[in-house]
């Protein structure tokens, strides 16, 4: 299978080549030239398998230039060796009439581990396959969870360096602590004055600077990405949609062929886009429900077809969703239109004017699959309390946004199909916000005292990766302006 740019640049790459490169030469995103289709028998055969076995089968359809042995090695390294604290990797739990796919049992307690434990394996294998000798410099802009998950995955991986930019005041204290304490001889972490979009736009500008890229190449360095703009980050996320369906099938909660709904906390649109690929492959999905926070640019887009980032930016209880430019939406627009000229035009309008509109025809296609709603911080607090009071189940603020959107969807549509909420982070990553929502007084208590309190309240263990941060020293304490990012990348690339 070959991969092409969403913006039409004449570039046809294998999966391994696309993973190494990260982003297309014209600034577009790589998409598969066709989406493989599977039937009911394929889905039925997944049901008795482990998560790793399911991953091998699904990824083989997209990464067909990797041998079976190569994929097996990558997948086993990503999900084995007790890296995840649950044997199911992504277990499906029940909270009343909601099924919850818990995607946060990896080493950084966030769903990003599901892909970012695998991406380094895919990248290093791609480098070996292609005989790549240049250093791969991974650039990451993060709103909180991607940064730590990428650092954890790439730390001390041979042939790579990784540099993470995060908004100075735009993450939770625990997310920041995870990043600034990261060890590794090939890592750099930098706070950016501004919000996530400032960091993300800075990284995109670097990828789009051909002179800079050429200079790095002469110095034996190639840029790549661990954000969901990289196909090697997005493809692994398709797996857990199939896995959730297979688990529900195995448990007798649905019959083969029954359509279900997925509700997804959404910021950069990569997580929910993976669900779209699963649907296109043949997974019986009725609706993909996009859950936003107060930065509800996606909810408005799904309802009106108009995307407008020119709005007030809110710092919320769910910082991983504090995003006004959802990069992966570009891939969806390509698949809905098949028109690279339109996509390139819309992305140009977004960059120059901050808005674009897709028109009624494409909006109709969008709304036949997606539905959107949002919850502000008050709604998120109320949902955390409601789920705990009714189900004795503790959720983080991002997952709460999805529970709220799932309720909104059912109330407005009357659709009673099985609903799966993707739970994207452990509540321990946002212990203060969760305890406040549950009516607990957190004043004067540090983050680690709050972890202990949440553990007592929920009768669950503190994730090991978070508990050990209490004694971890700060290693990365630098702050930069967005205009300084490119010079800092050059310095890091040149450092021995």
Q: In sequence order, what DSSP letters do the residues of 441-458 get, joined into one string?
A: --TT--HHHHHHHHHHHH
**Buried b or exposed e, range 90-119, using 16+ CB within 10 angstroms:** bbbeebeebbbbbbbbbbbbbbbbbbbbbb
Concatenated DSSP letters for 69-88? HHHHHHHHHHH-TT-SSSTT
- DSSP three-state, residue 105: coil
In the predicted model, what is the mean pLDDT of residues 191-201?
92
Model pLDDT for residues 201-251, shown as the tens digit of each residue: 999 899 989 899 999 999 999 999 888 889 999 999 999 999 999 999 999
260-265 and 306-308 strand pairing = unpaired
Distance CA 126, CA 20 (A): 7
Which pLDDT does position 227 carry in this prediction?
A: 82
* Cα 153 to Cα 147: distance, rounded to the nearest angstrom: 10
Q: At residue 127, does pLDDT exceed 90?
A: yes
Active-site residues: which are they?
Answer: 112
**Helix ranges (DSSP H) in 195-328:** 196-208, 210-218, 231-250, 270-281, 297-304
What pLDDT is stored for residue 169 in this prediction?
87
Q: What is the mean pLDDT of residues 130-158?
A: 91
pLDDT value for 468: 93
Whether residue 448 has pLDDT greater than 90: yes
Q: What is the mean pLDDT of residues 195-200?
A: 90
pLDDT of residue 415: 98
Report percent pLDDT > 70 for the chain. 100
Which contiguous run of DSSP H or E holds residue 185? none
For range 138-160, the mean pLDDT: 91
The pTM (predicted TM-score) of the whole model is 0.94
In this predicted structure, what is the pLDDT of residue 352? 96
User: Which pLDDT score, from 0 to 100, does residue 208 have?
Assistant: 87
First to last CA, the chain: 37
Whether pLDDT at 144 is above 90 = no
Confidence of residue 405 (pLDDT cuts 50, 70, 90): very high
């Amino acid at each position: 299978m070959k991969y092409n740019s969403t913006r039409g640049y004449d570039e046809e790459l294998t999966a391994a080549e696309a993973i190494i490169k990260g982003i297309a030469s014209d600034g577009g995103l790589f998409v598969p030239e066709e989406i493989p289709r599977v039937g009911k028998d394929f889905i039925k055969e997944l049901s008795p398998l482990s998560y790793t076995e399911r991953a091998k089968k699904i990824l083989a359809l997209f990464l067909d230039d990797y041998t079976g042995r190569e994929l097996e090695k990558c997948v086993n390294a990503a999900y084995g060796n007790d890296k995840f604290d649950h044997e199911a990797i992504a277990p499906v739990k029940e909270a009343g009439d909601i099924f919850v796919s818990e995607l946060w049992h990896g080493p950084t307690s966030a769903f990003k581990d599901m892909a970012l434990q695998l991406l380094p394996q895919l990248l290093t294998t791609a480098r070996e396959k292609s005989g790549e000798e240049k250093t791969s410099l991974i650039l990451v802009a993060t709103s909180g969870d991607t940064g730590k998950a990428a650092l954890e995955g790439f730390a001390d991986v041979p042939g790579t360096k990784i540099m993470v930019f995060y908004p100075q005041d735009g993450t939770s204290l625990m997310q920041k602590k995870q990043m600034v304490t990261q060890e590794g001889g090939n890592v750099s972490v930098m706070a950016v004055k501004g919000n996530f979009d400032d960091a993300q736009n800075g990284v995109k500008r670097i990828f789009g600077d051909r002179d800079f890229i050429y200079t790095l190449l002469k110095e034996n360095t190639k840029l790549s990405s661990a954000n969901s703009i990289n196909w090697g980050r997005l493809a692994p996320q398709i797996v857990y949609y199939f896995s959730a369906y297979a688990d529900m099938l195995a448990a007798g909660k649905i019959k083969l062929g029954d359509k279900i709904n997925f509700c997804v906390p959404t910021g950069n649109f990569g997580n929910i886009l993976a669900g779209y690929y699963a649907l296109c492959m043949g997974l019986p999905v009725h609706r993909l429900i996009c859950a936003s926070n107060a930065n509800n640019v996606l909810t408005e887009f799904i309802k009106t077809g108009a995307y407008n980032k020119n709005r007030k930016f809110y710092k919320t209880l769910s910082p991983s969703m504090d995003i006004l430019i959802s990069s992966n939406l570009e891939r969806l627009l390509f698949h809905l239109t098949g028109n690279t000229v339109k996509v390139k035009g819309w992305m140009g309008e977004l960059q120059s004017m901050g808005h674009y509109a897709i028109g009624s025809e494409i909006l109709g296609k969008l709304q036949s699959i997606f539905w959107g709603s949002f919850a502000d911080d008050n709604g998120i607090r109320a949902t955390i309390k409601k789920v705990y009071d009714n189900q004795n189940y503790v959720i983080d603020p991002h997952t709460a946004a999805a529970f709220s959107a799932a309720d909104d969807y059912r109330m407005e549509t009357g659709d009673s199909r099985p609903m799966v909420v993707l739970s994207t982070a452990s509540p321990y990553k946002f212990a203060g916000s969760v305890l406040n929502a549950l009516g607990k007084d957190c004043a004067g208590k540090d983050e680690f005292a709050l972890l202990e309190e949440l553990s007592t309240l929920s009768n669950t263990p503190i994730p090991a990766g978070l508990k050990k941060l209490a004694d971890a020293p700060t290693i990365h304490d630098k702050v930069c302006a967005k205009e300084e990012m490119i010079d800092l990348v050059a310095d890091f690339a040149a450092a021995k």
